[in-house]
Amino acid sequence: MRYISTRGEAPALGFEDVLLTGLATDGGLYVPESLPHFSLEEIRSWRGLPYAELAYKVMYPFVEDAIPADDFRKMLDETYSVFSHRAVAPLVQLDTNEWVMELFRGPTLAFKDFALQLLGRLLDYVLEKRNQHVVIMGATSGDTGSAAIEGCRRCEHVDIFILHPHQRVSEVQRRQMTTVQGDNIHNIAVKGNFDDCQRMVKESFGNQSFLGGKTQLAAVNSINWARIMAQIVYYFQASLALGGPDRSMAFSVPTGNFGDIFAGYLAKKMGLPISQLVIATNRNDILHRFMSGNKYEQHQLEHTLSPSMDIMVSSNFERLLFDLHGRDGAAVKALLENAAKGPVSIEDYRWKHARKLFDSDAVDDKTTCDTIRDVYEQNEYLLDPHTAIGVRAARNCRRDSAVPMITLGTAHPAKFPDAIAESGLSVKPQLPAHMADLFEREERYTVLDNNVSEVQGFIAKHWKNA
């Protein structure tokens, strides 16, 4: 399988290089040149498979040039055995034909574990084979950092440096990063805000001379193709559990950078019967505004009760735009260069096509809280604020009550106690038993000034073979 850039100018790459690359050299994102397609008969034959085995069936075509089948199977067994539920992605029923898929049974209690647990193992495998080392550098305002750290803690060929804004992430989120033990794990608390952290990461990727040519930076944000790939699997899993592929399913997906829902779109293209995909956003609703009015326009960032969806632009949306433009990289490049300067639209027939593929809704904080409260009163089931947005959008956008509607449950409610409190419920979400001592564990992090040379100096000094 070859991978090509959405902007049409970077060289095509194989899986290993795509894994290590991040952004393409032309500024685009890598996508598979073609997708595998599974017949209904083949999908049907996967009923009852354990999650890791299903993951193998769905993903192997994407990696087969790089990894022997047995090695990949073993990696998947290890990856999904760290989840705390035997079904890995269990379904919980909310109403007649309405479900939440709990994607928060991994080590950091958010769906990002599905991809990052695998990504860490993939990186180490490929680096071992090539006798190479990388430094992962990333900025986080919460979920991504902890999932990346957990995913890479056992990697021998990876050092990971995660920047977070000092005293500006929640205590649960900070502790999930800073209590992970490992010589290759480095948490840096920057005396600045999230944008400062991101700027330093970007600048460092742009000029890596501070590493002295002895290692290179790698990215683990959601533009990495391997993350999207791992998220395709659970759409198949949910469908098979509810009678697919002989009936179609609807999914509602809490969305920020468009990674998780793009995986659902790919599952459909790969042959899974999906009749509806709902984009659920918070007040940072660039995607909903585009879907409603064919205008892609950046607004100011709003801080909401669902911080993992607080974005201004949606990076993976570029991958959909590429398909909407008949995979014409030059057209995507021109469009996104204009989008950086002001609002853009696409041709009407292309936009209408997008509206056939997706429905959308934007949910504000008050409605998020109302939904948390409603569902708790209806079922004594506690939603985290991101999942609540998905459930609300599912209920607003649903087209056919005979089709199972599945909302992706992206985080455990105990990660976001403030939103639960704000919804007026007196119940306090409890951390799962295996994490109950989080507040007693020892923390390790270094506070640094908001200064890129200081941060780079720290990295240059502390990676393994420095």
Ligand X SMILES: *Cc1c(COP(=O)(O)O)cnc(C)c1O
Active site residues: 112
Strand partners, 189: 164, 447
Choose the binding region for ligand X from 116-124, 204-212, 257-265, 288-296 (rule: CB under 6 A). 257-265
Here's the x/- map for ligand X, 93-112, by CB under 6 A: it reads as: -----------------x-x
d(CA 407, CA 197): 32
Smallest distance, ligand X to C-beta of residue 247, A: 26
Q: Which helix (H) or strand (E) covers residue 187, if one does?
A: strand 185-190
Residue 131, SS3?
Answer: coil
Q: Which residue has the tokens 């040379």?
A: 453
Q: Residue 141 Cβ, how far from ligand X at the closest point, in Å?
A: 10
b/e string for 351-378 if b means 16 or more Cβ within 10 A? beebeebbbbbbbbbebbbbbbbbbbee
Interaction mask 112-141, ligand X, x per CB under 6 A:
x-----------------------------
Instruction: Rank residues 255 and 367 by Cβ distance to ligand X and give the closer one.
Output: 255
Which residues, in sequence order, are CB contacts of 45 under 8 Å at separation 6+?
none
Do residues 362 and 348 make contact, with C-beta atoms less than 8 angstroms apart?
Answer: no
Taking CB under 6 A as the binding criterion, the range among 41-49, 60-68, 256-264, 437-445 that sits at the site for ligand X is: 256-264
**By the rule CB under 6 A, 255 interacts with ligand X:** yes
Shortest distance, position 183 Cβ to ligand X, whole Å: 27
Which residue lies nearer to ligand X by CB, 151 or 245?
Answer: 151
Choose, by CB under 6 A, the member of 3, 38, 234, 258 that binds ligand X. 258
Binding residues with ligand X: total (CB under 6 A): 16
Q: 257, 276, 284, 367: which one contacts ligand X (CB under 6 A)?
A: 257
- Whose Cβ is closer to ligand X: residue 143's or residue 159's? 143
Q: Which residues inside 401-460 make contact with ligand X, applying CB under 6 A?
A: 410-411
Q: How far is the CB of 340 from ligand X (least distance, A)?
A: 20
Min CB(98)–ligand X separation in Å: 19
Element (H, E) at 171: helix 171-178
Q: How far is the CB of 136 from ligand X (least distance, A)?
A: 17
Query: Buried (b) or exposed (e) across 184-195, using 16+ Cβ within 10 A?
Result: bbbbbbbebebe
State which of residues 32, 165, 259, 413 lies at the interface with ligand X (CB under 6 A): 259
Q: What angle do CA 84, 90, 92 make, to 5 degrees?
A: 125
**Would you count residue 56 as binding ligand X (CB under 6 A)?**
no
- In the bound state with ligand X, the residue whose beta carbon lies nearer, of 72 and 251, is 251
Residue 145 sits in the site that holds ligand X (CB under 6 A): no
- Pick between residue 331 and residue 411 the one whose CB is nearest to ligand X: 411
Instruction: Please tell me whether residue 222 binds ligand X under the rule CB under 6 A.
Output: yes
Among 120, 256, 264, 413, binds ligand X (CB under 6 A): 256
* Beta strand 216-218 pairing with 249-254: unpaired
Helix (H, G, I), strand (E, B) or coil at 253: strand
| Smaller CB separation from ligand X, 98 or 260 | 260
The number of CA neighbours under 13 Å toward the Cβ of 33 is 10
Per the listing, tokens 């067994």 go with 77
Phi-psi region of 258 (alpha: psi -120 to 50; beta: other; left: phi over 0): left
Q: DSSP letters along 270-297, please?
A: TT--EEEEEEEE-S--HHHHHHHHS-B-
Q: What strand order describes the sheet that includes 274-281? A: 91-95, 98-102, 405-409, 249-254, 274-281, 359-362
CB of 417 to ligand X, least distance (A): 14
The C-alpha angle with vertex 118 and arms to 179 and 74, in degrees rounded to 5, equals: 115
Interaction residues for ligand X, span 169-188 (CB under 6 A): none
Residue nearest to ligand X (CB): 259
For ligand X, the closer CB: 299 or 464: 299
Region of 19-27, 58-66, 80-88, 250-258 interacting with ligand X (CB under 6 A): 250-258
How far is it, in rounded angstroms, from Cα 434 to Cα 430?
11
CA distance 315 to 209: 27
Q: How far is CA 408 from the centre of its chain?
A: 12
* 260 binds ligand X per the rule CB under 6 A: yes
- Applying the rule CB under 6 A, the residues between 147 and 166 that interact with ligand X are none
Beta carbon nearer to ligand X, 150 or 260: 260
Is residue 386 at the binding interface for ligand X, with CB under 6 A as the rule?
Answer: yes
Q: Does 52 bind ligand X (CB under 6 A)?
A: no
388 Cβ neighbours under 8 A, 6+ residues apart: 306, 363, 368, 369, 371, 372, 375, 419
Binding letters toward ligand X, positions 284-313, x by CB under 6 A: ------------------------xx----
Q: For binding to ligand X (CB under 6 A), which residues are involved? A: 110, 112, 143, 222, 254-260, 308-309, 386, 410-411
